[in-house]
Amino acid sequence: MRLAVLVALSLAPCAALAAGEGCPAEGAMRERLAQLAPERGARTAQFDVAPPTELYERALREIDRSFVKRDGKTVQGVRITERPIELVWKALNDEPHHALDDGAYVPVRHSEVVEGVARGPSRLLFQYFKKAGIGRWWVSRVEMSPDLYRASNGALWELRWHDVIDSVDPGRPPYDTVSVDMPALERSYGAWLLVTLGPSCTLVEYFNHTEPGGFVSLAQALLAKSAVRDTLDGIVRLADEHLPEPHPGAVFVRPDGTPLDDSAR
């Protein structure tokens, strides 16, 4: 692979991690992150992209601020937030509500699980974005990473995806509602990785490679950094503002498929 990972892990939280609410000291977070070897995530193990270590460093120094970088068609973002991993994870997986208020939280105009169970370990997700007459739609296989979760003793929570656009018929519902007005993405894959740095401290990492295709490819690439920053900020706001509202019948699960406590409301 690419990086020689696997250090001998000692995953028991250190004293600094148990010292109340918020994030531990910067040095303790840096040590914890090194112990957990986040390079084991799909971003590197599956997609051969190095961890954004420079973004880690910036995020460690400024809690609850999103940092983003772009390399061609690949964009990575990192934020360390003073919120428990379970809350952020729920916001990531609450995809039926990602298009709330016309994309006020997540920059998409439509978000629908078309196969599998919403918020479940594996599902097909149909989304699109359109602004100023320019847009794209996509269908992705979204999957949790149970093996990584177990190997890290529950410290690394990953949600990864890749497009399956070639396997869907754009002339059939629900895709036909938008396919006549806008093209589909040519290619897209990526992953979210959440890292437990403390009881109320989570590192949020976003990795995305997108090939939009068409004459707007360059413009969309230039806008990708702001979209990723908006997504990181929006997921945190979704966790704060929307997740406390009732979710009747919704069941949220950990990456290994076991239900989260109080997930159905």
Domains: count for the chain: 1
Cross-strand partners of 244: none
Domain assignment present for residue 265? The answer is no
Domain assignment present for residue 119? The answer is yes
DSSP 188: E
Residue 221, pLDDT score: 53
Dihedral of CA atoms 141, 116, 180, 172 in degrees, nearest 10, equals 130
Detail the DSSP E strand segments found in 176-262. 187-198, 201-211
Q: For 89, what's the count of Cα atoms within 13 Å in the CB-facing half-sphere? A: 33
Domain assignment present for residue 14? The answer is no
CA separation for the pair 78, 56 (Å, rounded): 7
Domain assignment present for residue 258? The answer is no
CATH code, domain with 104: 3.30.530.20
Residue 179, pLDDT score: 94
Longest dimension (CA), the chain: 57
- Domain span at residue 123 reads 23-241
Domain assignment present for residue 189? The answer is yes
Query: Per residue of the chain (265 residues), what is the pLDDT tens digit?
Result: 333 222 222 233 333 333 337 999 999 999 999 999 999 999 999 999 999 999 999 999 999 999 999 998 899 999 999 999 999 999 999 999 999 998 889 989 999 999 999 999 999 999 998 876 778 899 999 999 999 999 999 999 999 999 999 999 999 999 999 999 999 999 999 999 999 999 999 999 999 998 887 654 544 554 678 889 999 999 999 999 999 999 999 999 999 999 997 654 4
Domain assignment present for residue 4? The answer is no
Domain assignment present for residue 108? The answer is yes
DSSP 7: P
Domain assignment present for residue 8? The answer is no
